[in-house]
């Protein structure tokens, strides 16, 4: 479609290859602030909670919206793997996307400013992170060696300088840091004001706490591992959705030789969630994670696992065998992991169409 | 000794417990710029090259100075393990120190400025890094969790939040980056102007290129591993002294449960060394490191290695057995590693005194 060339913003990077996934229970006024950066992209909104509520999306955004009724209709009995009343529901958006890249952001995240006071285009930085290689096998002391003005330092093996494809870009948060409930309670006034001007690869074999607030990934490379688990309504745990996805994803990236980056871009996280509510959601997670981390640190995947799906199914088996002893929740979670992969494969074969609501074009 | 209280600077951190080690071939005018930060500390100057040359040290510094004649006199036949005509000679200073902490800096490094334009007290930041724990078992996305304004983020296991003792603090460089000769040749004009306001632990199992330009360590915890190898005069290789020490040190820190940090503080690296000269020194290292890195990535130390010395002797054995095939240089290096430990133990038993030159008090 021809448009007048004078008043049109330049076509942003990966415009046709990236979906922005937003889980929400409220009107999306926060998009106003993101308009210059998001308006040319397609949004997938996953409405959590009461499906009869109408979520208002500001004018001019191209989106599709799914509520719980849509999820149930599209997935049928397999909808059981998608959490309800928890932002973990966002992973449904990853599943129904047909794009190569996903950016997901929480609706309490605003545009942050860089050290010069300029608005940060978070999405653009994520795309740069995803399109340049990662270096998981050896640490570069000047951080991202592919960034302008930087390189590999003396002593960095030349054979490793090509890097590996980047699967995940984990962005950070200014203002309200992503603390657990106990830390929120102990430090209610702590704000993150330190702008660390770096992107780095998380080394192979090292786990990290992946936060889903400001996260991008290559869906083709790692999508099926980005399952946010069973959280919220009817589950004994919340606020571990992104952590679970991060641990599974990192182990699979390490196995498949893919990279995970963290650092820039920052978003402005506007408001701390209630620490008392969070404590209730988290307390089993805080306890269980002491067993989960050693499990993920020791897990190995056999050579036969050559696709993300195969890795994930194998991981589900090991979760059942080893974490089932920790709590029966993990038996249920293991089954849900398998269901997730079945649903993913169903929706991601050619011809699958899910007929979304919203003003966007049918995919 | 009582001193007038009005004109005296406050006693700096670890004044009696830290030596500053400087390898040099020239007059130490660069110390003028460091006077406010170094003058209250004791310096160990290791004079490289012609021992008859007189090195001028600015007035008012407390130092001891060793030239090649001193090294030969003190170590006798074991002096063969100390490099000549290469800054690797600096490790002799680590050996003769009797302090708990070492800071080593090159004489072409000046005081850098932070983001606010303030002079950076590099030594003070190193001391902070060494006195606070490290977190090698899990990555914290907000970097150093012990720093003011930061903490462990959601999903960080509570059992790991105590951290482990920090053995090494690796500082960075503004202006001239620490590039190898090929990168210097390709990017002669590249300058590092990015101030990354972060300190982080290098995760367990991850190797890094340790640069000796701006480096601090806990001598009690890791000193005997800080051997800078056989470089320079009579050796087929140069400019891999600090790299070698870094790989050995990291493997031993990982085995003993000690931490290695990198990041702040920055110094201002004033001048690039000649890339053509560097290429000649480095080219075997560039070639060999492709075999060295896999060796260090795979090396494991047996449980019986409970001290740095035992670890280092075991490492020397494995160097001989596995890297001896790469080049006979590594057979010689392995022997020198053993000699180094013997010399270290000789000088570091009670009563050992090495009668240094200089105006400092005999140790």
A316-351 residue pLDDT tens: 999 999 999 999 999 999 999 999 999 999 999 865
How far is residue A216's CA from residue A210's CA, in Å, rounded to a whole number?
A: 11
Query: Which own/partner contact pairs does B188-195 have at CB distance under 8 Å and 24+ positions apart?
Result: B188/B272, B188/B275, B190/A149, B190/A151, B191/A149, B192/A142, B192/A149, B192/A150, B193/A149, B194/A142, B194/A149, B194/A150, B194/A197, B194/A198, B195/A197, B195/B114, B195/B115, B195/B266
Q: For B220-249, what is each residue's pLDDT tens digit?
A: 999 999 999 999 999 999 999 999 999 999
Cβ–Cβ under 8 Å, residues A104 and A90: yes
Which residue is closest to A261 within chain B, CA to CA?
B141
Rounded to whole angstroms, how far apart are CA atoms B47 and B24?
5
Report the pLDDT averaged over residues B74-95. 97
pLDDT grade, residue B3 (50/70/90)? very low
Query: Tell me, what's the pLDDT at A217?
Result: 98
Work out how many CB contacts closer than 8 A connect A with B. Answer: 172
> Hey, which of A237-246, A346-355, B4-13, B269-278 has the most confident mean pLDDT?
A237-246
- What are the Cα distances from residue A73, in Å, to A55, A76, A77, A232, A337? 19, 5, 9, 20, 20
User: pLDDT tens-digit profile of B273-332?
Assistant: 899 999 999 999 999 999 999 999 999 999 999 999 999 999 999 999 999 999 999 999
Per-residue pLDDT, A271: 86
Residue A11 confidence (pLDDT): 81
Contact assignment for B142 to A192 by CB distance below 8 Å: yes
Using the beta-carbon criterion (under 8 Å), do B178 and A286 form an inter-chain contact? no
DSSP code for B159 = G
Instruction: Check whether B1 has a pLDDT greater than 50.
Output: no
**For residue A244, which residues of chain B lie inside 8 Å, CB to CB?**
none
Closest Cα in chain B, distance from residue A136 (Å): 9
Q: Kindly give the interhelix angle for B275-298 and B241-256, rounded to the nearest 10 degrees.
A: 20
Instruction: Say whether B206 and A156 touch across the interface (CB within 8 A).
Output: no
Q: Which of B154, B196, B203 sits opposite A196 (nearest CB)?
A: B196
Cβ within 8 Å, pair A290-B157:
yes
- pLDDT tens-place string over residues A156-195: 999 999 999 999 999 999 999 999 999 999 999 999 999 9
Q: Do B289 and A157 touch (CB under 8 A)?
A: yes
Q: Which pLDDT band, with edges at 50, 70 and 90, does A2 fall under? A: very low
When pLDDT is averaged across residues B122-135 and rounded to a whole number, the result is: 98
Paired tokens of A52: 């009869």
In the stretch 101-160 of chain A, residues with CB closer than 8 A to chain B read 115, 138-143, 149-160
User: Do residues B241 and B229 touch, judged by C-beta distance below 8 A?
Assistant: yes
pLDDT of residue A3: 44
The better pLDDT of the pair A221, B8 is held by A221
Cβ-contact A102, A223 below 8 angstroms = yes
Residue B361: predicted pLDDT: 37
Instruction: Nearest chain B residue to A150 by CA: give it.
Output: B192
pLDDT reported for residue B12: 87
Name the H helices within chain A.
31-38, 68-75, 91-96, 122-131, 181-186, 219-222, 241-256, 275-298, 308-318, 329-347
Facing residue for B150 by CB, picked from A170, A194, A211:
A194
- Please, what is the average pLDDT of chain B? 94
**Residue A80 zone, left/alpha/beta (φ > 0; ψ -120 to 50; rest):** alpha
Averaged pLDDT of chain A = 94
- Closest residue in A to B189 (Cα) is A149
pLDDT tens sequence across B24-52: 999 999 999 999 999 999 999 999 999 99
Q: Would the CB atoms of A192 and B149 count as touching at under 8 Å?
A: yes
Among A117, A137, A140, A153, most B C-beta atoms within 10 A, so best to mutate, is A153
B250 shares contact with chain A (CB less than 8 Å): no
pLDDT of residue B327: 97
Contact assignment for A206 to B205 by CB distance below 8 Å: yes
Q: Beta partners for B21?
A: B44, B104
Residue B195 in contact with partner chain A when CB distance is under 8 A: yes
Quote the pLDDT of residue B120.
98
Provide, as residue numbers in chain A, all residues whose Cβ is less than 8 Å from the Cβ of B212: none
Q: What is the pLDDT of residue B362?
A: 36
Name every chain A residue with its beta carbon within 8 A of the beta carbon of B192.
142, 149-150
Q: Per-residue confidence at A1, pLDDT binned at 50, 70, 90?
A: very low
For B182-206, give the DSSP string. HHHHH-TT--B------EEEPPTT-
Shortest CA distance from A136: residue in chain B:
B206
- Whether A155 shows a pLDDT value over 80: the answer reads yes
Percent of chain B surpassing pLDDT 70? 94
Residues 220-249 of A with CB under 8 A from B: 239-240, 242-243, 246
Mean pLDDT of A42-46: 98
Q: What confidence tier does B363 reach under pLDDT thresholds 50, 70, 90?
A: very low
Nearest CA-CA distance, residue A221 and chain B, Å: 23
Mutation for testing the B interface, residue in A154, A195, A206 having most B CBs under 10 Å: A154
Strands (E), B14-117: 18-24, 42-47, 62-66, 101-105, 109-110
**Residue with token string 């871009």:** A265
Percent of chain A with pLDDT over 90: 92
How much is the pLDDT for B10? 73
B351–chain A Cβ distance below 8 A for any pair: no
Among the partner-chain residues A192, A286, A293, the one whose CB lies closest to the CB of B138 is A293
Cα–Cα dist B168/B162, whole Å: 17
User: What is the per-residue pLDDT across A14-36, written as a single tens digit (0 to 9) for each?
Assistant: 999 999 999 999 999 999 999 99
Is the Cβ of B289 closer than 8 Å to some Cβ of chain A? yes
Q: Which residues of B touch A193 (CB under 8 A)?
A: 149
Buried b (16+ CB within 10 A) or exposed e, B14-29: beeebbbbbbbeeebe
């Amino acid at each position: 479609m021809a448009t007048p060339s004078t008043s049109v913003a330049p076509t942003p990077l990966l415009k046709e290859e990236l979906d922005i996934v937003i889980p929400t229970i409220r009107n999306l006024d926060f998009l106003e602030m993101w308009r210059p950066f998001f308006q040319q992209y397609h949004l997938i909104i996953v409405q959590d909670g009461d499906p009869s509520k109408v979520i208002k999306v500001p004018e001019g955004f191209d989106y599709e919206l799914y509520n719980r009724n849509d999820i149930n209709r599209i997935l049928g009995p397999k909808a059981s793997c998608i959490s309800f009343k928890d932002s973990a529901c966002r992973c449904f958006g990853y599943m129904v996307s047909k794009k190569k890249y996903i950016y997901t952001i929480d609706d309490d995240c605003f545009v942050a400013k860089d050290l010069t006071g300029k608005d940060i285009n978070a999405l653009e930085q994520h795309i740069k992170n995803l399109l340049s290689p990662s270096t998981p096998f050896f640490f570069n002391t000047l951080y991202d060696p592919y960034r302008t003005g930087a390189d590999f330092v003396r002593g960095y093996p030349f054979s490793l300088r090509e890097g590996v494809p980047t699967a995940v870009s984990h962005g950070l948060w200014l203002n309200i840091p992503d603390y657990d409930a106990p830390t929120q309670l102990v430090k209610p006034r702590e704000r993150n004001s330190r702008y660390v001007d770096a992107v780095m690869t998380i080394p192979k074999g090292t786990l990290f706490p992946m936060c889903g607030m400001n996260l991008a990934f290559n869906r083709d490379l790692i999508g099926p591992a980005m399952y946010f688990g069973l959280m919220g309504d009817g589950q004994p745990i919340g606020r571990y959705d992104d952590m679970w996805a991060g641990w599974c994803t990192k182990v699979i990236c390490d196995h498949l030789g893919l990279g995970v980056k963290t650092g820039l871009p920052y978003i402005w996280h506007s408001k701390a969630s209630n620490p008392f509510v969070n404590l209730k959601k988290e307390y089993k997670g805080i306890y269980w994670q002491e067993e989960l981390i050693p499990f993920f640190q020791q897990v190995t995947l056999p050579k036969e696992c050559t696709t993300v799906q195969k890795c994930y199914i194998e991981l589900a088996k090991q979760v059942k065998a080893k974490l089932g002893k920790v709590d029966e929740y993990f038996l249920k979670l293991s089954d849900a992991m398998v269901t997730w992969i079945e649903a993913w494969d169903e929706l991601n074969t050619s011809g699958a169409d899910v007929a979304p609501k919203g003003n966007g074009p049918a995919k």
